Structures are given as C-alpha cells and as structure tokens.
Amino acid sequence: MESQKYLGIYLSKDRATVVCIGSGARDGHVLGSFSVSVEEQQEQNQQQLLAELIIKGCVERNLKFSEVGVALDCALFMQHNMHSEFNNTKQIAATIRFDTEEALASDISDVAIAFQINRSSESGSELTVFTAKQKILSDILLSLQSKNIDPLTIEPDINCLSRYISKRVPQGESQDGATLFGLLSSRRGYFVTSSKSQKISSLRTFLVSPTQDRNELLTRQVLITTNLPETGEPTNYLRIFDSMNSVSHQQLGAKIGKEIEDVDLIGSAGITPAALVDCYDPVDFAIAYGAALAHLEKAQAQSVNFRSDFMPYQGKKLRMQKTLKFLSISVSVLLFALGLYCQAKLFMVNMSRTSLQKKFEPQYLAVMPGSKQLPDSFSEAVRKLGSELRRIRDVKSGLIGVQGEKSTSSKLTLVLEALNKCAAQTDLVIDSISITTTSISIAGETSSASSTQKLREALMEKKLGNLQERISPTKTGRNSFSITITPEK
C-alpha cells in the first residue's frame, strides 16, 4: 500500500508553521517543515499572503500531501469551561450552541463552536468549549482554498499540541497523580495536564509578552492551573519546556513546591534538529506536527473541529460528485451511441423487410385465392403456401385422403348437380365456391328462405357430408346464404 503524506499548518494572524509527515514503515517521519511570516506586511488580507507563502514553500521543497489539518492560534479563538446536562456526544452537539449562548449571555450567531468532553457523570458532562469568529475562519478557509489547500480539520492549537505530547513524547514510568506539561514558545504559553486515569487532558493557553519575566509568569500560571477544579486530580509532577531557555527550574521549583523536570519536546519524539532548521519555534513545530497527526493517527475528534460547525469539509464529497457526474455523462453518451447503432441496424432490417414484402406480396396473392393481404409474419405466409401446395397436389392427383374416400372432382360434380337441379326453382345466384381437402364452401343468394331450404335439401340428397349454414335476408328481399359441407370421417 502506498504511503500517505499529511500536511499540518499552525496558523496565526501573521505567521504560519508547516510540517509534512508521512505514513508507512516509519509512521510520522518528517518529510519537510518551514515557517513563513507576514509581520512586516501592511496589507489587510494577511491570510491570503500567508496562503501564497505556504504553497510557495511546499512547491520549493517538493512537499506533496493528501490531507491537510490546520491548528488555529489561541489568539484567534476563546476557551470556556461549561457544563452540559447530557452525556451522549450527539445530544451535546445538538444543544451546545444554546448552552454556550446562555453561558456567555451574548449573541453567538456569528461564532463557530468546537467542544471537548472532559468528564461525564450521571449529572451530565464537563466540557471545554472553543469559540471562534466565523469571519476569521472564513478568511482562512477561502485563502487556503484559493491555493488548492482544503483542510479537513481546523482545531485549537492546544488540542494539536496535546495530541503531539500524547503520541510522540514519552510519558515516563507509571506515577500517582497527574503530570502538568508547561510549554512556552516565543509568544504563547500552553499547559497540558496528562494522567493515567483520564483519556482527555485538561488544556490551558495564554499569551506571552517578549518583555515578561518567564519565571514569574510560569510560577503564577502553574499555581492557577493546578488549583483549577477541572484538573480532576492532584498535579504532582511538572515538566517544562521553554523555547527561549530562560526559565530557572530551581527557582520555579522553590516557589511552587513541586518536582520539576525538563522535557525534550523535539528530541524525545525522535525528531532530529535538522527538521527544525527553517522553523521559528520548536513549540510551533510541535503544534503543526500535531495537526498533521490527526490524519495519520485517525484520532481526530469531529467535536473539536471548527469545520464540523462552520463550512463543513466537502473536498472528498465534491471530488466524488464530479467523478460520478463524469461517469454518468459518459454512460449516457455510451448508451445513446449504442441506441443509435441498434436503431440503425433495426432500420436497415426493416428496410430490407419492407422491400422484400413489396416484392413478395403480389406473388403471394396471385397463388392464394381469397387472400387480400400478406400475413404479418413471413413464417405464417410460408406455412399457408405449403398448405396450399399440398392441396393443389392432392387435387391434381384426384385424392383427398385414403380408404376409398371420394375425389375432389367427384365432390364438385355432385355439388354442381345439386345446384343445377334447383337453380330454376330457387332463382339461385352463386357468388363463390371454395373447395379444400377438408370442406366445400358455397356462398350466394336465393329468392327466399324456402328456396334456400330447397337448395339445402338438394345438397343433402347427394350425401356429401355434414352441412352448416348461415342465412340472412338482404335489403332487396332475397335470402343470402353461406353453406359449408364437411365430409364425414
């Protein structure tokens, strides 16, 4: 199976860090990474400029990818702790917008929502809810899509960083209590609480000023974080990473009274320093890497994806629709061409049939007395011709059957004798006489019904066989008759 390549983008207002990872024998190995910035640009549409720099960087490094995930900088969204009365994810998703609007006491019609379930109990669920302006998400999506980059997920940066820590950073030996990861980039701070008993970590983000004392800032933020009720259990271990290397572990440990351990955010994940050569910050790299991991690990939760609530991802759906549309058109054209071909063949056959029918019909009517038109099928015409041919042969041979039956000529003689005998008395007019191997049919008129009866008696005297007759008066007062004589077997 061919390995897939996934692109993770950590996107802020004026910066972007991009990481491309691959699957296969070495899951999650880095294929390329870089950072771009538009800090010095004064144009209003900075997201459009970032999108252009991102695709340019991918082209320069020959980075090809199948799926894209975006991590949204914490300055572009807000985080809230909320309670829901439900435990089922679908029920929470159906009511989260109403609960958020009630909790914030403001209109959220222009806000996109994503949420994470921290804990559930009989009384409901404790949630971390993320809100972002739809205008911000729209600008990001339209800018990226204009460069043929359509992200499947747009997640909070802290969520992507938590995924990176849980999947790529060793957690150490089994310990009692929770471990708090404190990570400081050049401009942002993140806290991720990890424990053996909880599948979902509690998350916090905060901004960091370049002029702030990081020891004091971290001391204050650690104390706030460890005393939050949603932490769930005591935090006994603190693991710190500072991209500026300005935090004193000894000073920090003395102030908060906890064991502090340094964490190699990049090296412990098996990533070489060469992979970060074109990146601004290791923490930014880890966030972008975590955004790409959503596709590699198949671990993305749609509830923490802003696109589940705003401009849902339809990239694959649209490609499928275009493919189906193309196939349906192709099949329609093929069926139309096949129909034309079959119609042309049928038309040629019908032309030949019509031509043969016009040529054959006069010949058929000439040898088939009494027939007014050619039968619908040629097989029926052939059958009738064969029957007529056998009849003619029997007539010529003077035989109708076997075992001493009378010849056709003798029957005709008897019929004529009977007709001549009563012709003058009945004012007889004969219209037709039809003779076959099985019957003799006579049609004509007499002066009256009694005259027809005399004709019948004359025929009966000749003992030709069974007689069947149909008699009806005419408009002139005469009597029309049709007599069929069937020889006795």
Task: Give 360 or 120, the one with higher predicted confidence.
Answer: 120
Burial (Cβ within 10 Å: 0-12, 13-18, ≥19) of residue 182: buried
* Beta carbons within 10 angstroms of residue 427's beta carbon: 14
pLDDT confidence bin for 404, thresholds 50/70/90? very low
Determine the average pLDDT of the residues in 284-293: 93
What are the DSSP calls for 72-141, one per residue?
A: EPGGGSEEEEEEES--SHHHHHHHHHHHHHHHHTS--TTEEEEEEEEEEETTEEEEEEEEEEHHHHHHHH
Long-range CB contacts (within 8 A, 24+) of 311-319: 311/137, 311/138, 311/141, 313/150, 313/151, 313/152, 313/153, 315/150, 315/152
Domain with CATH 3.30.70.60 in the chain: 408-486
Comparing 112-121, 305-314, 414-423, which segment has the lowest mean pLDDT?
A: 414-423
Among residues of the chain, what percentage have pLDDT more than 90? Answer: 26
- CA angle centred on 30, ends 27 and 34, rounded to 5°: 155
d(Cα 46, Cα 368) in Å, to the nearest integer? 96
What's the confidence (pLDDT) of residue 230? 60
Domain with CATH 3.30.420.40 in the chain: 173-264
Domain 1-169+271-313 has CATH 3.40.718.10: no
* Torsion sign across C-alpha atoms 138, 56, 289, 78: negative
| CB proximity list for 461: less than 8 A, separation 6 or greater | 418
pLDDT digits (tens, 9 = 90+) for 477-488: 888 888 888 876
pLDDT digits (tens, 9 = 90+) for 162-206: 999 888 888 765 566 778 899 999 899 999 987 766 655 678 888
R_g of the chain computed on alpha carbons: 50
What are the DSSP calls for 390-432, one per residue?
A: HHHHHHHHT-SSSSSPPPHHHHHHHHHHHHHHHHHHHT-EEEE
Contact 162, 220 (CB under 8 A): no
What's the confidence (pLDDT) of residue 121? 86
Comparing 112-121, 159-168, 323-332, 403-412, which segment has the lowest mean pLDDT?
A: 403-412
Instruction: Name residue 383's amino acid.
Output: R
d(Cα 128, Cα 115) in Å, to the nearest integer? 6
Task: Assign domain 173-264 one CATH number from 3.90.1150.10, 3.30.420.40, 3.40.50.300, 3.40.50.1000.
Answer: 3.30.420.40
What's the confidence (pLDDT) of residue 1? 39
d(Cα 89, Cα 109) in Å, to the nearest integer? 22
- CA angle centred on 84, ends 82 and 88, rounded to 5°: 130
In 3-state terms, what secondary structure has residue 7?
A: strand
Comparing 117-131, 231-245, 273-287, which segment has the lowest mean pLDDT?
A: 231-245
pTM above 0.85, yes or no: no
Tokens 């970590």 label which residue? 201
In 3-state terms, what secondary structure has residue 172?
A: coil
Domain with CATH 3.30.420.380 in the chain: 1-169+271-313
Contact 147, 166 (CB under 8 A): no
User: Which CATH architecture best describes the domain 408-486?
Assistant: 2-Layer Sandwich (3.30)
